[in-house]
Amino acid sequence: MAWHLGQAYGQDLRDRVLRADGSIREVAARFGVSHSYVSRVRSRRRRLGEDTPGVQCSHRQLKLTGFEQVLIDKVHAVNDLTLKQLCAWLEAEHGMRVGISTLWKTLARLGISLKKRRSMHPSKRART
């Protein structure tokens, strides 16, 4: 039986576990699940009268949640900062210590690019 963190077992297995007679250990061994799973399923039915799984609450909030607008404003105000400089600024100004990859992923999710124009001879640049 394949199970992955953050996913509930299928409803068919849950129904079979609830219909099965026997002790928690016997039912767990018969269906290849843990003792605690059988106990929780039975307890949920007894307490709430529900045979369906509850809401999953194992999601972690992103580390830079709440700092999106601050980052956007800083990048637009000073657009030649490196990721390392942005990390240092976040720690100095807001006390938020993050790694370069976390900051990179956050900026990508916000659609912000720190890509600079390529260096060219001044006569080759497009006039703006």
pLDDT at 3 exceeding the cut of 70: no
> What confidence tens digit (pLDDT) does each residue in 89-106 have?
999 999 989 999 999 999
Instruction: Write down the residue that tokens 């068919």 correspond to.
Output: 12
What local confidence, expressed as pLDDT, does residue 62 receive?
83
> What confidence tens digit (pLDDT) does each residue in 8-54 have?
788 999 999 999 999 999 999 999 999 999 999 999 999 999 888 88
Beta carbons of 94 and 67 less than 8 angstroms apart: yes
> What confidence tens digit (pLDDT) does each residue in 43-81 have?
999 999 988 888 776 667 888 888 899 999 998 888 788
